[in-house]
Amino acid sequence: MHANTPAAPAALLTTNESADVLRCCAKTITNLIARGQLKAVRLGKAVRIERSELERFIAAGGAK
């Protein structure tokens, strides 16, 4: 990659896709976002979670 080339955007996942990764239900993902334990991006009414945020969440040991 060249110095002037922007980095590729991070993969954004839906709440359902994030739930599949964490093997939980989408409502759990929504609750984690509401409690501030999982960061999300809002695009209008759509909610997306960066894959790197899920990896951070897992590495931190999940919900406390």
Query: pLDDT value at position 64?
Result: 74
CA dihedral (23, 34, 17, 41) positive or negative: negative
Angle in degrees, 0-180, between the axes of helices 51-59 and 15-22, rounded to the nearest 10: 30
The DSSP bridge partners found for residue 42 are 47
Note the pLDDT tens digit of each residue in 3-58.
555 555 558 999 999 999 999 999 999 999 999 999 999 989 999 999 999 999 99
